[in-house]
């Protein structure tokens, strides 16, 4: 046998061995494989430097193997999740300063021995949250939280009346699945490959992403500070005409509440409890579409006997609660958690969840 034949035979044996390992130990035929989904939201370990108000935060933004923000956790052990967009993910601040972490600290102080897990994904609307129940959560083995908290509103109000909000190119999915066919193919391969999966796990454990994300939040210049006014709920009632807004934004409201209904149905089918919390921006309820969505959500919750927490009516915001139009500072996240915690515990007690 020539040297070339020996090399070819060895190479063939090597390829066959790789193929056998992939088939038997990869995720190709596994019930809970991720396929082309969640590639952008799993196994992330990115160094971040954030500058805000003369304070510098140097931290690691992590998403675990199953796609949640933070350290590894077996999905079967997750008792509660909070779902939302970037205002829930809060990648622009250390994990300890997030709404989720503040809620967990308050629950612990009040004697509740469970943690809320952060399932926020940047850019998601309620369309994206529905997509989670179809393409993310079913891929998590024995994932059955008793409590689903939806922190919603800010990413939904920009929809136009006749817009197809379910268009995958519209952005509301939070890039759970890449819309490009070639990327879907490669994402599917990477997620199912035994070797690639193990390499990513090792990288997550021992290495940081080489590129440091840097953010400098100085949204509020002197003019914005001078002109700043927070429109709380009482001021909003004077500013907006509810009856006219209901007519003007009828389509948007109807579609929004239908998505809320779909989300609640997903949760109730799992014998779990859904809680919906509305949102405000840096200027409160000045935006008429956000105001009427918030108002309509609470009204719908009462009629449909769904659990909702009206943050919009409770919060009287201040400029230092936000570092841009939508995202809260560490102080803002703390205040929001403190504002909703009693209502949340009331629901937990009423439903005897924990």
Please provide the DSSP assignment of 310-349 as one string. -HHHH----GGGBSSSS-B-HHHHHHHHHHHHHHHHHHHH
**Please, which residues have CB within 8 angstroms of residue 130's CB and are 6 or more apart in sequence?**
259, 262, 263, 266
3-state SS, residue 45:
strand
Q: Is 2 exposed, middle or buried (0-12, 13-18, 19+ CB in 10 A)?
A: exposed
Q: Is the pTM of this model over 0.85?
A: yes
Q: Give the position of tokens 């109730």.
A: 268
- What DSSP designation does 259 have? H
Mean pLDDT, the chain cut into blocks of 10 residues (354 residues total) = 70 67 70 86 91 85 96 97 97 95 97 95 96 96 97 96 84 86 82 75 68 74 75 97 98 98 98 98 97 98 97 95 92 97 97 87
Question: Beta partners for 61?
Answer: 46
Distance CA 5, CA 18 (A): 20
Distance CA 87, CA 322 (A): 11
Tokens at 254, concatenated: 């109807």
CA angle 62, 67, 73 (to 5 degrees): 80
Distance CA 263, CA 150 (A): 9
pLDDT score for 178: 87
Contact (Cβ atoms closer than 8 angstroms) between residue 66 and residue 131: no
CA distances from 354 to 111, 113, 145, 341 (A): 11, 8, 11, 15
Nearest alpha-carbon partner for 144 in 76, 91, 96: 76
pLDDT score for 337: 98
CA torsion through residues 203, 205, 211, 215, sign: positive
The two most distant CA atoms of the chain are separated, in Å, by 92
Q: Domains in the chain and their CATH numbers?
A: 73-178+222-351 (3.40.50.1110)
Tokens at 252, concatenated: 């948007």
């Amino acid at each position: 046998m020539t040297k070339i034949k020996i090399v070819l035979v060895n190479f063939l044996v090597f390829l066959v061995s790789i193929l056998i390992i992939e088939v038997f130990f990869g995720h190709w035929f596994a019930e809970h494989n991720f396929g082309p989904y969640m590639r952008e939201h799993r196994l992330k370990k990115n160094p971040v430097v954030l500058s805000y108000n003369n304070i510098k935060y140097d931290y690691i933004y992590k998403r675990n193997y199953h796609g949640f923000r933070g350290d590894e956790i077996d999905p079967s052990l997750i008792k509660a999740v909070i779902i939302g967009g970037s205002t829930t993910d809060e990648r622009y601040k250390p994990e300890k300063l997030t709404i989720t972490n503040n809620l967990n600290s308050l629950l612990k102080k009040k004697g509740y021995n469970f943690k809320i897990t952060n399932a926020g994904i940047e850019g998601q609307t309620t369309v994206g949250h529905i997509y989670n129940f179809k393409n993310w959560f079913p891929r998590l083995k024995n994932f059955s939280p008793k409590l689903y908290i939806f922190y919603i509103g800010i990413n939904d109000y920009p929809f136009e009346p006749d817009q197809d909000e379910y268009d995958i190119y519209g952005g509301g999915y939070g890039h759970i699945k890449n819309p490009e066919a070639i990327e879907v193919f490669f994402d599917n391969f990477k997620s199912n490959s035994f070797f690639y999966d193990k390499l990513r796990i090792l990288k997550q454990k021992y290495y940081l992403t080489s590129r440091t994300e840097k953010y400098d939040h100085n949204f509020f210049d002197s003019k914005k500070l001078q002109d700043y006014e927070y429109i709380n709920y009482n001021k909003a009632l004077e500013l907006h005409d509810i009856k006219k807004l209901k007519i003007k934004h009828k389509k948007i409201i109807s579609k929004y509440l239908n998505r809320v209904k779909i989300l609640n149905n997903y949760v109730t089918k799992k014998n779990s409890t859904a809680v919906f919390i509305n949102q405000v921006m840096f200027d409160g309820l000045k935006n008429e579409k956000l105001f009427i969505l918030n108002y309509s959500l609470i009204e719908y919750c009462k009629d449909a006997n769904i659990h909702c927490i009206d943050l919009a009516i409770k919060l009287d915001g201040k400029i230092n609660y936000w570092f841009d139009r939508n995202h809260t500072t560490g102080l803002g996240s703390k205040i929001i958690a403190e504002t909703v915690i009693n209502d949340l515990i009331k629901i937990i007690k009423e439903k005897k969840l924990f």
